Amino acid sequence: MKAVLLGGTRGMGRALARLMAERGDAVALLGRRLDDLEKSARDLEVRAGAGTGTVPVATCDLERPETFAPALEAAEKALGGLDTVVVTAGAFATQDRLENDPERAREVLLVDFTNTILFCEEARRRLLAAVYLPTHALLSRLYPPPSRTRSCASRTAGATGSRA
């Protein structure tokens, strides 16, 4: 499988990227910090073993929608296509801060909902072979979708989908 992970340098995204690389999937990493991306890419290359090639990286920031298309294009070109796109990146704040800082609450909503959906829509346009495409579904399993299905998964929204 050819997978792009936005947020694959930390936490759940990094764990998923490692698992996918270890099982032989072609993985590309997208994120804000090039140094973190390159470090994680080298780690994945070592874990995947010989013969899997390099792990491509591209900068992409959920706070900056203008970075979505160039990052996905770079990943798609490097991988020779896309089968799945996974989003684990996002903005965070404690409940207390969200309740007491309306500006931070607005920022979190913009990044975790609006911009995540915009990112998934950009990814959807690139998954041309899709028969059915969930545009913002919860990441529920690590196995590849059926051969004619493509997906864009996000940790931020409920499972809904649209016909491609």
pLDDT more than 90, % of the chain: 65
Cβ within 8 Å of residue 144, ≥6 positions away: 1, 25, 83, 84
- DSSP tally for the chain: helices H, then strands E: 6, 7
Q: Mean pLDDT for the chain?
A: 81
Domain that holds residue 122: 2-163
CATH number for the domain spanning 21: value is 3.40.50.720
Q: What is the DSSP letter of 137?
A: B
Q: What is the DSSP letter of 145?
A: P
Question: What is the pLDDT at residue 108?
Answer: 94
CA 35 to CA 38: how far, in whole Å?
5
Question: Which residues does the chain have with pLDDT short of 70?
Answer: 49-52, 128-164
Q: Which two tokens stand for residue 60?
A: 């992409």
Domain count, the chain: 1
pTM of the model: 0.76
Question: What is the pLDDT at residue 162?
Answer: 40
Q: Is 163 helix (H, G, I), strand (E, B) or coil?
A: strand
Which one, of 155, 139, 61, 71, lies nearest residue 107 by Cα?
A: 61
Residue 141: what residue type? R
Question: What is the pLDDT at residue 36?
Answer: 95
Question: What is the pLDDT at residue 128?
Answer: 62
The half-sphere exposure of 89 on its side-chain side, counting CA atoms within 13 A, is 28
